[in-house]
Structure 1
């Protein structure tokens, strides 16, 4: 073992390696007997392609560059593709990111547009396509801009002709329902085709606050008639609904304080754990009914497992394997279940479970160790005590290197990671960005602060009207506890986060003296601006619950905004921003920096053309990671080898 100071350990995990392994498979599905999914391509401009697994087990990308299979509905998108087999040949429909048109594709041919382009505002967008070949249609969620403003938009369920007759004709798109709600998910047909079920909600609620589960009859002319609400409400979140093979309606509701599974109003497996999560993307699936009557479920308290639920007994049997987390994407075909799983020592893989044998195996995107796994961190699941004795959940990743130790008596620097959302959660999975730091001797602590999902409705509602307070306090409680117990160096604590995590980071730097520096990625910095037209429609009234009604508590918006308190910041910081971001636009950063001008605070502001909300391009991620490490090196007195020096101005 070599004795070297923390932060100077040589690591085979460089920024390029971390960037190359960023992203994960999403939106799994069956096309005939084959498993298909979308996959990231950081080195190809950050696009997502569609991948198929052939009968011989080989993986083949279906669409070459520049095709990018990704929807922009509600900006976070949703399921962007569907497929089936017609006369022995795959038939695919998908949304292309660049123009947001829906395309039809048969492998070997050229994609053909099914929907038109609109010059109004953000145009026409589509999500959750469902191929109904017998009807000659694709049923989708249609998002249509009616003006130039980000909230000039309507959403309905619509049917797109498969024959291409709507490619240049908006009038050929058939709307399935009247415009009743601001937000809708794609309708799912009952087995007999006579009923459809979908979710809907309206401002100012977010889908994890309260949604309605609607059921309608399908008329002979293919319209959804006589819709009625069968579950949900202003304070009940139904996160997903689907039909069982026998025609009964299954749905995940948090009416009991946890997202549990119900069938026609009766709980199937009442537990204090989650069988669903926050609906950030349309088409997320935490459960999938099998023809046998069993139900595949993603469930857990904190971490999530893939299991099979017997609705009659309420028993759940989990799949065995190394995966400690499963994502909200499931597909079933006969007795086969496919999902996406990962663990603390393995990246996200496409996993198939055979419900007849109970065997689970990797069928796609198999994890391959790009370096000796001895360089991976060894995370610890911790529960800390926050203000008032409340529990704060976190994952602690101590510095780890197979060939290096620090000098006796030296404590390591630590970076607190605040996740986005904020209604979200940091999963316990292998992340080479974390390993990039821990393998060099810098600890990381991911904090699932109050407001995070996975721990019941009461835990996530701790953030109601307390954003900028509870999240900041919980992150600080973890950081200080690590220092108090001798795990971290009190003088070398940092914080970083993106989006809502960027807000928590900035609020922590302007409102506490806990951290020596921070990294702020594509953040919210000015609540008043963000809540009055500077963001997209989906989150345009999110602050009503996170902060309070603007009309009633305008002072609170100013008091908590980092942009209003730039004069309080004394710690060096790095600010990273995509110039195409419409969720947290660059104007937020520019306003903050303008108010900082004249203050002697070392900082850097890096912007990236072609990047939106969350970085997807390999070259962007490399620059951002190396800049972040350079910030910590300069502030903490570290000596990492081979890292370009970030120029800090004032």
Structure 2
């Protein structure tokens, strides 16, 4: 063993390797008996490719570059494709990111535009599509901008002809709903084609606050009749709905305090577990009904498992394998269920569960060790005491190297990671960005602070009107606990986060003295300028639950904002920003920097043209990781060779 100070260990996990493995396969589905999905291509400008697994078991990229299967509905994007067999051949409908139009594609041909180009504002956008071959249409969510402002938008269910007749004619698109609801998910058609179900909600609610489950009859003319609400409301969040093979309506509701699965209003497996999660994007799926009447489910408390639920007995048989986390994408056909799973020693891969044999295997995007697994992080699932005796959940990744150790008595530096959302959760999976630090001797602690999902509604609502307080306190509680128990060096603690995590990082640096430095990535920094008209429509009223209604507590918006407390900032920091970010616009960062001008606070501000909210290009991710490591090296006094020096300016 080589004895060397923490943070200086040589590592084969470089930034390029970590960037190449960023992202995961998504949006799995069946086209006939074939499994299809999308997957990231960081080296190809960050596009998402559509991939199929053929009957022979090989993987094929369906569309070459520059086709980019992704959309911008609610800016985070919803399900971008659907497919079916038509006359014995695959027929696929997808959205293309560059123009946001929807296309029809049959292998061997060229994509055919189905929707018109946009003439107003930010565009016509389409998501969560579902084929209705009998009517020759694709039913989906239409997001239509009516002006140039981010709030000039309407969303309806729409039916688009598959023959391309709407490609230049907006009037050929049939609108199925009247736009009375601000947000909708794509419709799910009953097996007999006579009913449709979908979710809807309105400002100021977010979908995890409360949604309505709507059902309508489908007339012979394809028009929806008798729309009515069957479940949900302002304080009940329905996250997904679908139909079983016998025509029963299935849905997940948190009416009990946990997202559980219901059939026609009756709970099927009442547990203090989550069978759903936050509906950040239309089309997310946590359950899929099988033809046999069984139901494939993604469920758990904290981490999630893939299982098969028998709705008659309420029993679940879980898949066996190395996966400790399953993403909210799921499909079923016959006796097969397909999901996307990962674990602490395997990246996300497409996983198939055969309900007849019980066999579970990876069938697509299979994990391949990019480096000797001896360098992989080794997580510890921890629960820490927080203020007022509340529990704080975290994943702690100590420094780990197969041939290096530090001197006796030395405590390592640690970085506290605050996840985005903030209504989200960090999964327990292999992340080479974490390995980039832990293999060099820098510990990482990911905190599922109060407000995170996966632990029931009460835990989720700890953040109600407490954003900038509970999240900051919980991260600090973990950091202090690690220092007090000797796991971390109290003088070498850092915090980092992106989006809402960037807010938590910035708020932590301006309101506590716990951290020696921090990394702030595409953050929210000024609440007074992050609302209607300033950010995208989906989250424009989010602050009413996170902070409180502005008309009632205007002072709180200033009190919580890091920009308001920039004069308290003394710790060095790195600020990373995509210039095309419409969710957390660059102006937020610019105002923050203006407030610290002339205060001699060492910092660096790196911007990236062509990047939005969430970095997707390999070169961006490499630059960001190397800059972050250089910041820690300078502040913590580490000798890290081979990493470009980040210039810190006062």
Q: Fold conserved (TM > 0.5)?
A: yes
Query: SS of 1:544's equivalent?
Result: helix
In the alignment, the residues of structure 2 paired with residue 145 and residue 455 of structure 1 have an alpha-carbon distance, to the nearest angstrom, of 36
In the alignment, the residues of structure 1 paired with residue 19 and residue 164 of structure 2 have an alpha-carbon distance, to the nearest angstrom, of 39
1:511 aligns with 2:511: yes
Which residue does 1:88 correspond to in 2? Answer: 88
Which residue does 2:294 correspond to in 1? Answer: 294
In the alignment, the residues of structure 2 paired with residue 392 and residue 177 of structure 1 have an alpha-carbon distance, to the nearest angstrom, of 43
Q: How does 1:256-405 map to 2 (within 5 A)?
A: 256-405=256-405
Which residue does 2:469 correspond to in 1? Answer: 469
1:628 aligns with 2:617: no
In the alignment, the residues of structure 1 paired with residue 539 and residue 443 of structure 2 have an alpha-carbon distance, to the nearest angstrom, of 33
- Structure 1, 421-430 or 79-88: larger mean CA deviation: 79-88
- Structure 1, 112-121 or 334-343: larger mean CA deviation: 112-121
In the alignment, the residues of structure 2 paired with residue 333 and residue 247 of structure 1 have an alpha-carbon distance, to the nearest angstrom, of 16
1:230 aligns with 2:230: yes
Which residue does 2:16 correspond to in 1? Answer: 16
Which residue does 1:65 correspond to in 2? Answer: 65
Which residue does 1:205 correspond to in 2? Answer: 205
Which residue does 1:52 correspond to in 2? Answer: 52
In the alignment, the residues of structure 2 paired with residue 597 and residue 372 of structure 1 have an alpha-carbon distance, to the nearest angstrom, of 45
Kept in 2, the 8 Å contact 1:177–1:223? The answer is no
Segments of structure 1 that go 5 or more residues without pairing to the other structure are none
Kept in 2, the 8 Å contact 1:212–1:238? The answer is yes
Kept in 1, the 8 Å contact 2:416–2:475? The answer is yes
Which residue does 1:422 correspond to in 2? Answer: 422
Query: SS of 2:539's equivalent?
Result: coil
Which residue does 1:216 correspond to in 2? Answer: 216
Kept in 2, the 8 Å contact 1:71–1:95? The answer is yes
TM-score (norm 2): 1.00
User: CA offsets per residue over residues 345-399 of structure 1, 9 Å max, x none?
Assistant: 0000100000001110010000000111000011000000000010000000000
In the alignment, the residues of structure 1 paired with residue 344 and residue 438 of structure 2 have an alpha-carbon distance, to the nearest angstrom, of 14
Q: CA deviation at 1:534?
A: 1.5
Query: SS of 2:475's equivalent?
Result: helix
User: CA offsets per residue over residues 531-568 of structure 1, 9 Å max, x none?
Assistant: 24210000000000000000100000000000111111
Q: CA deviation at 1:639?
A: 1.1
1:78 aligns with 2:78: yes
1:605 aligns with 2:608: no
Kept in 2, the 8 Å contact 1:104–1:112? The answer is yes
Which residue does 2:193 correspond to in 1? Answer: 193
In the alignment, the residues of structure 2 paired with residue 441 and residue 475 of structure 1 have an alpha-carbon distance, to the nearest angstrom, of 21
Q: How does 1:95-174 map to 2 (within 5 A)?
A: 95-174=95-174
In the alignment, the residues of structure 1 paired with residue 203 and residue 598 of structure 2 have an alpha-carbon distance, to the nearest angstrom, of 40
Q: CA deviation at 1:225?
A: 1.2
Kept in 2, the 8 Å contact 1:177–1:225? The answer is no
In the alignment, the residues of structure 1 paired with residue 119 and residue 375 of structure 2 have an alpha-carbon distance, to the nearest angstrom, of 51
User: CA offsets per residue over residues 59-115 of structure 1, 9 Å max, x none?
Assistant: 110111111000100001111001111222211110000110000111122111100
User: CA offsets per residue over residues 196-251 of structure 1, 9 Å max, x none?
Assistant: 10000000000000000000010111011111000000000000000011111000
1:250 aligns with 2:250: yes
In the alignment, the residues of structure 2 paired with residue 157 and residue 32 of structure 1 have an alpha-carbon distance, to the nearest angstrom, of 25
Which residue does 1:485 correspond to in 2? Answer: 485
Q: CA deviation at 1:640?
A: 1.3
In the alignment, the residues of structure 1 paired with residue 107 and residue 570 of structure 2 have an alpha-carbon distance, to the nearest angstrom, of 57
Kept in 2, the 8 Å contact 1:350–1:366? The answer is yes
Kept in 1, the 8 Å contact 2:151–2:532? The answer is no
In the alignment, the residues of structure 2 paired with residue 222 and residue 133 of structure 1 have an alpha-carbon distance, to the nearest angstrom, of 12
Which residue does 2:549 correspond to in 1? Answer: 549
In the alignment, the residues of structure 1 paired with residue 147 and residue 72 of structure 2 have an alpha-carbon distance, to the nearest angstrom, of 17
Query: SS of 1:353's equivalent?
Result: strand
Which residue does 1:614 correspond to in 2? Answer: 614
Query: SS of 1:445's equivalent?
Result: strand
User: CA offsets per residue over residues 260-318 of structure 1, 9 Å max, x none?
Assistant: 00011110000000000000011000000111000000000000000000000000110
Q: CA deviation at 1:641?
A: 1.6
| Segments of 4+ moved more than 6 angstroms | none
In the alignment, the residues of structure 1 paired with residue 593 and residue 115 of structure 2 have an alpha-carbon distance, to the nearest angstrom, of 42
User: CA offsets per residue over residues 22-51 of structure 1, 9 Å max, x none?
Assistant: 110000001111000001000000000100
User: CA offsets per residue over residues 575-594 of structure 1, 9 Å max, x none?
Assistant: 00000000000000000001
Which residue does 2:36 correspond to in 1? Answer: 36
Segments of structure 2 that go 5 or more residues without pairing to the other structure are none
Which residue does 1:533 correspond to in 2? Answer: 533
In the alignment, the residues of structure 2 paired with residue 7 and residue 346 of structure 1 have an alpha-carbon distance, to the nearest angstrom, of 24
TM-score (norm 1): 1.00
Query: SS of 1:347's equivalent?
Result: strand
In the alignment, the residues of structure 2 paired with residue 525 and residue 108 of structure 1 have an alpha-carbon distance, to the nearest angstrom, of 49
Q: Aligned residue pairs: how many?
A: 650
Which residue does 2:571 correspond to in 1? Answer: 571
Q: CA deviation at 1:180?
A: 1.6
Q: CA deviation at 1:449?
A: 0.1
In the alignment, the residues of structure 1 paired with residue 52 and residue 244 of structure 2 have an alpha-carbon distance, to the nearest angstrom, of 27
Q: How does 1:574-585 map to 2 (within 5 A)?
A: 574-585=574-585
Query: SS of 1:465's equivalent?
Result: coil
